[in-house]
């Protein structure tokens, strides 16, 4: 049933929870989690730093993908202190391929802030934790409940999905007001005796059982509590408004050869993929020939005169806000030293020392001769 949009989230949460067996649900979920949880490295101790790193990595990223990155990261930077002392380039290199690089930069800034303001220890106070760069309400809730045993909610996309089904809440989960409602619901549900197992149990249930497209209701430990299952409506939830279609942008990039070196530049801080290295690139104009676009962009933006010698590969890369159709050309240098503020000529066998975003990492791989033919023809 739709609730009145004008009611305060706390009132609406109380109305939704009427008749719900909160105590029974907590027991069933916590018991299931204690017996069925996956053995994950950040669960082996309650180190707030490791929980922080894992939660940041797991935003927008699956556990299987994040796992090797996490292990490498905490081996190289085992403490807040070690991370705070790191160079940003080294942090980005370890993050290379994981995407959403602002997460890595904020983690580094947050670690430096924890050293300066909190003596290297993540605070267990919600307001102090919320002041740290890159720690939003979800990450704060995860750290407080898992590391410090504080009975606070931690609501991410998985938890939104589980609660919307469990309690048959039909509001659009993408609206800010709805997120406040779910935070109220999670706060009312969280188990005061074991908030760590409860919050991780909700996350684990969303990851393993109450999955987005095909929830495994017959295996679900809280099926008897679930209102969507009882109504046969679990696949209709969570309710989401229509997403806007993201625009596609035609981009060119160039591998400009000068002897055994190629030209690369460091993308400006604060912009898309800021702080990462890239081959010279830019947007193709409507109706402009691809080769002509490559020559124009190299001349106008990078001060390089080149002879374009042919396409190397095509890459399609989707961001949250747009999609790149990227065509990469090989070029022979003719004149110019390169005008990018942070540009340089790098021997091709030294490229592996720099951190590139996933789309440009494919260019580096293509230069190894591994993926050239496989990547051609990918543009739509
Ligand atoms: S019964 Fe199905 S829909 Fe309900 S919480 Fe369990 S898996 Fe999700």
How does pLDDT run across 275-299, given as a tens digit for each residue? Answer: 899 999 999 999 999 999 999 999 9
Q: Which atom of ligand 1 is nearest to the CA of 219?
A: 7
Q: Which atom of ligand 1 is nearest to the CA of 165?
A: 3
* pLDDT given for residue 60 in this prediction: 82
Q: How far apart are CA 186 and CA 197, in angstroms?
A: 14
Closest CA to 96 of 366, 358, 375: 358
User: Mean of the pLDDT values across residues 25-37?
Assistant: 97
Q: Using the mean position of ligand 1's atoms as its centre, give its distance from the Cα of residue 227 in Å.
A: 9
- The strand pair at 323-335 and 281-283 is best described as unpaired
* pLDDT given for residue 318 in this prediction: 87
Q: What is the residue with the minimal CA distance to atom 2 of ligand 1? A: 217
Per-domain residue ranges of the chain: 9-236, 248-375
Q: Is the pLDDT of residue 379 over 70?
A: no
Cα 114 off chain centre by: 22
* pLDDT given for residue 380 in this prediction: 31
Higher pLDDT, 83 or 318: 83
How does pLDDT run across 164-197, given as a tens digit for each residue? Answer: 999 999 999 888 889 899 999 999 999 999 999 9
* pLDDT given for residue 10 in this prediction: 83
Sign, CA torsion 276/278/280/285 = negative
Q: Using the mean position of ligand 1's atoms as its centre, give its distance from the Cα of residue 207 in Å.
A: 12
How does pLDDT run across 83-97, given as a tens digit for each residue? Answer: 999 999 999 999 998
Q: How far apart are CA 177 and CA 183, in angstroms?
A: 10
User: Mean of the pLDDT values across residues 67-79?
Assistant: 97
223 lines ligand 1 (CB under 6 A): yes
How does pLDDT run across 228-277, given as a tens digit for each residue? Answer: 999 999 999 998 877 778 899 999 999 999 999 999 999 998 788 888 99
Q: What is the residue with the minimal CA distance to atom 8 of ligand 1? A: 210
Q: Is the pLDDT of residue 5 over 90?
A: no
Ligand 1 mutation pick, 21, 29, 32, 162, max ligand atoms within 8 A of CB: 162
Q: Is the pLDDT of residue 76 over 80?
A: yes
Using alpha carbons only, what angle is made at residue 267 by residues 344 and 77, rounded to the nearest 5 degrees? 95
pLDDT grade for 3, boundaries at 50, 70 and 90: very low
* pLDDT given for residue 369 in this prediction: 57
Q: Is the pLDDT of residue 300 over 70?
A: yes
Higher pLDDT, 14 or 6: 14
Q: Tell me which residues are annotated as active site.
A: 55
% of the chain beyond a pLDDT of 90: 79
* pLDDT given for residue 177 in this prediction: 84
Residue 255 phi, psi dihedral angles, 5° rounding:
-100, 105
pLDDT grade for 376, boundaries at 50, 70 and 90: very low
Q: Using the mean position of ligand 1's atoms as its centre, give its distance from the Cα of residue 18 in Å.
A: 19
Reported CATH class of domain 248-375: alpha beta
The listed CATH number (1.10.340.30, 3.30.559.10, 3.40.50.2300, 3.30.70.20) that belongs to domain 9-236: 1.10.340.30
pLDDT grade for 6, boundaries at 50, 70 and 90: low
Q: What is the residue with the minimal CA distance to atom 5 of ligand 1? A: 166
| Of the candidate ranges 1-10, 85-94, 117-126, 206-215, the one whose mean pLDDT is the lowest | 1-10
Q: What is the H or E stretch that residue 253 is in? A: strand 248-258
Ligand 1 mutation pick, 226, 236, 237, 238, max ligand atoms within 8 A of CB: 226
Q: What is the mean pLDDT of the chain?
A: 91
201 lines ligand 1 (CB under 6 A): no
């Amino acid at each position: 049933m739709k609730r009145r949009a004008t009611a305060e989230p706390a009132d609406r949460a109380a109305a939704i929870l009427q008749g719900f067996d909160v105590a029974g649900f907590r027991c069933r979920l916590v018991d299931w989690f204690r017996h069925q949880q996956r053995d994950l490295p950040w669960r082996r101790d309650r180190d707030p730093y490791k929980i922080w790193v894992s939660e940041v990595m797991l935003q927008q990223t699956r556990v299987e993908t994040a796992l090797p990155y996490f292990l490498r990261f905490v081996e190289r930077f085992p403490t807040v202190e070690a991370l705070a002392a790191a160079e940003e380039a080294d942090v980005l290199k370890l993050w290379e391929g994981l995407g959403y690089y602002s997460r890595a930069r904020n983690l580094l800034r947050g670690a430096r802030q924890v050293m300066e303001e909190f003596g290297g220890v993540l605070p267990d106070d919600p307001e102090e934790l919320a002041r740290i760069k890159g720690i939003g309400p979800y990450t704060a809730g995860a750290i407080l409940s898992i590391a410090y045993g504080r009975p606070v909610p931690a609501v991410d996309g998985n938890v939104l999905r589980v609660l919307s089904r469990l309690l048959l809440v039909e509001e659009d989960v993408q609206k800010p007001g709805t997120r406040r409602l779910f935070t109220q619901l999670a706060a009312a549900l969280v188990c005061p005796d074991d908030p760590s197992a409860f919050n991780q149990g909700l996350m684990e249930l969303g990851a393993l059982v109450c999955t987005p497209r095909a929830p495994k209701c017959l295996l679900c430990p809280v099926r008897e509590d679930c209102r969507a299952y009882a109504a046969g409506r679990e696949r209709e939830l969570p309710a989401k408004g229509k997403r806007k279609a993201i625009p596609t942008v035609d981009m060119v990039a160039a591998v400009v050869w000068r002897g055994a070196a190629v030209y690369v530049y460091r993308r400006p801080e604060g912009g898309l993929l800021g702080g990462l290295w890239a081959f010279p690139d830019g947007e193709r104009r409507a109706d402009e020939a691809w080769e002509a676009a490559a020559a124009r962009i190299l001349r106008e933006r990078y001060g390089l005169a080149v002879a374009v010698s042919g396409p190397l590969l095509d890459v399609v890369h989707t961001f949250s806000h747009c999609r790149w159709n990227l065509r990469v050309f090989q070029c022979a240098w003719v004149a110019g030293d390169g005008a990018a503020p942070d540009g340089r000529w790098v021997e091709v066998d030294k490229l592996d020392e720099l951190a590139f975003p996933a789309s440009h990492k494919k260019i580096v791989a293509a230069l190894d001769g591994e993926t050239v033919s496989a990547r051609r023809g990918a543009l739509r």
